[in-house]
Structure 1
Amino acid sequence: MLYEEKITSRWIPVLVILPVVLSLSIGFWATYQAGEGIEIPLAVGAFVVPLTIDISYMRIQIDDREIRIRGALGLIIRKTVKLEDIISFEVYSGWMSCSGFIHFNMPAKGCVVLNTKRWSISFSTNNPEEIAQVLATLGIPREASDL
């Protein structure tokens, strides 16, 4: 493993889980008052809570063969890019400064765009220059950017 970073956000779960918990509570109360079963609110909760956990955490791993971007559970955030498919990369300051065809965005110090043979993939990072050094060491050319 040449590089590994974990990025978390405390505000994403709060902003997503708070309305879900509120609506599930109302749903539980309404189904209890109506004398119905609580299967539907439980199913919604079982679906939404793992997705929320997945989007609140991102792990970036770089080794000598590929770059892996994963969420906590790997349900939504999940992408593996082989190094031989990367044409070039760009580094930007600010986590909202770059966009790719596939974009993994979370509050961080910077972001990296990987230009591949098919499309561009971008992701947020707290150590953009460290990732740039690792990618340059692996022989991937760097394009001009704002950092």
Structure 2
Amino acid sequence: MLYEETLTSRGLQVFMLVPIVSMLAGLYATYRAGEGLWIMAAATAGTLIILLDAMAIRIEIDERELRIRGVLGLLVRKTVPIENMASFKAGEGWASCYGRIHFNLPAKGCVTIHQKRGWTVSFTTNNPEEVARVLATLGVPREP
């Protein structure tokens, strides 16, 4: 593993507690009412999976590929092979990059990957220059 980082946001995690607690309260209310428990249980489980997966971003770069995953890696995930990268751009500030596929949490910077085939991928990181150094070491050209 050449680079690995897990990006989280305490504010986002606290904000996501609101729908989680609301869904659990709704689940309890349907249990007490005796109606619609299984529908509410399925909706609660689906919502919990989506929210848990979006709470953090894990970035991994090795010799073959760049992997971006959520906490669970079920819904939030993207793998970009190194040989499919046409170029990259590192930016300062977490809102300064845009890609067709964008993984965004508050951070110090961001990186945009332009692919030879496929959509542009961007993600936020606390170490944009370290990611840029690793990608340049792997032979991916840097955009001016």
Provide the TM-score with structure 1 as the length reference: 0.89
Instruction: Kindly indicate whether the alpha-carbon contact (under 8 Å) linking 1:10 and 1:56 is maintained by their aligned counterparts in 2.
Output: no
Displacement after TM superposition at 1:30 (Å): 5.1
| 2:132 equivalent to 1:132 | yes
2:111 partner SS: strand
Are the structure 2 counterparts of residues 66 and 30 from structure 1 closer, same or farther at C-alpha, using a change threshold of 3 Å?
Answer: closer
CA contact (8 A) 1:17 1:49 kept: no
Judge which range, 103-112 or 5-14, deviates more: 5-14
Following superposition, the deviation at residue 139 of structure 1 comes to 1.1
Q: Secondary structure at the match of 1:51?
A: helix
> What aligned pairs does 1:1-147 form with structure 2 within 5 A after superposition?
1-26=1-26, 28-29=28-29, 32-33=32-33, 35-117=34-116, 118-144=118-144
Q: Does the Cα contact within 8 Å between 1:32 and 1:38 map onto a contact in 2?
A: no
Quote how far apart the aligned CAs of 1:23 are: 4.6
Whole-angstrom distance in 2 between the partners of 1:89 and 1:22: 41
| Secondary structure at the counterpart of residue 96 of structure 1 | coil
Q: Distance in 2 between matches of 1:19 and 1:28?
A: 14
**CA-to-partner distance for each residue in 1:12-67, whole Å, 9 max, x for gaps?**
2332331342254145325523x325222211111111211110111111111110
- Secondary structure of the residue aligned to 1:99 is coil
Kindly report structure 1 stretches of 4+ aligned residues shifted beyond 3 Å.
none
Q: CA deviation at 1:122?
A: 0.2
Distance 1:68 1:37 in 2: 39
Identity of aligned residues (%): 52
> Whole-Å Cα distance in 2 between the matches of residues 10 and 47 of structure 1?
22
Q: Please give the root-mean-square deviation of Cα atoms over the aligned residues, in Å.
A: 1.6
The CA distance in 2 between the partners of 1:121 and 1:26, in whole Å, is 37
C-alpha separation in 2, matches of 1:28 and 1:7: 33
Native 8 Å contact 1:28 1:41 kept in 2: no
- Runs of at least 5 residues in structure 2 that lack an aligned partner in the other structure: none
Cα distance, 1:98 vs structure 2:
0.6
Count of matched residue pairs = 143
- Cα offset, 1:127, TM superposition: 0.3
